[in-house]
Amino acid sequence: MFVGQSPQSTKVKRLIREIAKTDDHVLFVGEVGTGKKHAAMEIHERSKQKNRPFVVLNCTAAGDAISEADILGEISEGKMGVERKIGLLEQAHKGILYLENVQDLSEEYQLKLFNIIKEGRFQKPGDNKFTEVSLRVFSASTDKSLDKKGGFRKDLLALISTFVVNIPKLSDRRQDIPFLFTHFLEESCREFNHELPAVPAELFESMMEYDWRGNVHELKNAIRNLVLMSPEGTLSVEYLPFEVKHHPFETLVGKELPDAISEVEGYLIKRALARFAGNQTKAAHALNVSEAALRYKMKKYHLTRKAF
């Protein structure tokens, strides 16, 4: 299930429901770790192909770590006679072929896949007959500008992008973090057979403010690591992959009240003066004090005009 209640997530979930009713090809676009494959698998689970295979082809490795025989299959002479290798395309017959990192597909394989998807057949190396395949193609790209990318075939892009689903990055849907946090926390506790732990407020606040450049994938890994490494019954902030952001007033703990008030007052006055380039009239108005009171406090805290 695509988790979240933000407007962006609600739109993606609606697209998932509606696209699952069709047999069309789909292009998923989004940064690394946003959940493109997860959205694709959810459409598969809701579609007519749900009982058919979901086969992944990593386009970055096509023609290199993944050979033509791995993709198309092969017929060759072996010690026991004719040997038949079933490739990824044949495995995906009547199911889903998921083209991961489609933006990295070489021009050679772009042409091959375009012809195979369009015609519904191909020849295996070593075979003089055609193998028929019926494929529904889901593609995933981190490149939002495939249509402007010189090395990517326009005809292939048009073929595989009947529907385009843009998966938002996590920093654009921060209100989903609490839902994702709860989801991954429960999932990780089940995996490691742990009771649901207490969650320190400082940990949750820090997770809400962190940038999450690895998106949902990074968040999931962080929570899994917390559950695994922390003592059972609680989550320890020391196992977060980033420094916990402490409350700005935490440094005042232990100080006498007059000293703490003076420190806060001096800080706010400096910020206001810096904001208005030393203009005392504007700073006093922003702080809701008289100019006379502001000048008195500047003298008290040794704040001079020259500093701003």
Residue 305 in this model has a pLDDT that exceeds 70: no
Answer with the residue of higher pLDDT: 266 or 177: 177
Render pLDDT for 115-147 as a digit per residue (tens, 0 to 9): 999 999 999 998 889 999 999 999 999 998 888
Q: Tell me how long the chain is.
A: 308
pLDDT tens track for 144-154: 888 877 789 99
Q: How do residues 248-259 score in pLDDT, each as one tens digit?
A: 566 667 778 888
Average pLDDT estimate for 257-264: 82
The β-bridge relationship of strands 130-132 and 54-58 is: unpaired
The DSSP bridge pattern shows strands 96-100 and 54-58 to be parallel
Model pLDDT, residue 189: 95
Strand boundaries in 26-157, DSSP class E: 26-29, 54-58, 74-78, 81-85, 96-100, 121-123, 130-132, 136-141
- 232 pLDDT tier (thresholds 50, 70, 90): confident
- Ordered by where they begin, the domains of the chain are 7-168 (3.40.50.300), 171-239 (1.10.8.60), 250-307 (1.10.10)
Count the Cβ atoms, other than its own, within 10 Å of residue 9: 20
